[in-house]
Amino acid sequence: MMQRVGLEPLINRSLCTIDLAERTISAYRYGLAYLNRQLDLYGDATHHRALYDAMTATKLFKKTLQFLPESIESAEDLIRFSKEASRLKRPQFDPELLEEKES
């Protein structure tokens, strides 16, 4: 796209916070709203609002960093881990449903 207007292509590498969460945090689901509730990341969040989703994703990213293997030393290591490491096994039951039953 950039080349069409005479500029060099962007080489920004991307990192998906949800992919990273799947490899560092065990959860029944991995949607941003669900993880926000389960991990109590950003209480004021309104799902599908750009600013709130960005703030929630930032807090989720910081949370995932706590569970990285010590072998991760660079951004490239982190990107590779987020795409290639095994996903954690999901719990068989949704904790939200268990909480509802207990109420």
The domain locations on the chain are 14-86
- For residue 99, the model assigns a pLDDT of 64
Q: What is the pLDDT of residue 91?
A: 86
Measured CA to CA, the distance from residue 84 to residue 103 in angstroms comes to 40
State residue 10's pLDDT score: 80
pLDDT number for residue 100: 63
Neighbours of 24 (CB within 10 A): 20
Q: 39 with 67: CB under 8 angstroms?
A: no
Rounded CA gap, 82 and 35, in Å?
A: 17
Q: Cα–Cα distance between 30 and 94 in angstroms, integer?
A: 12
Q: Cβ atoms within 10 A of the Cβ of 62, count?
A: 11
pLDDT on residue 102: 64
Write out the chain's pLDDT in tens, 103 residues.
778 898 888 888 899 999 999 999 999 999 999 999 999 999 887 878 899 999 999 999 999 999 999 999 999 999 999 999 999 998 888 877 766 666 5
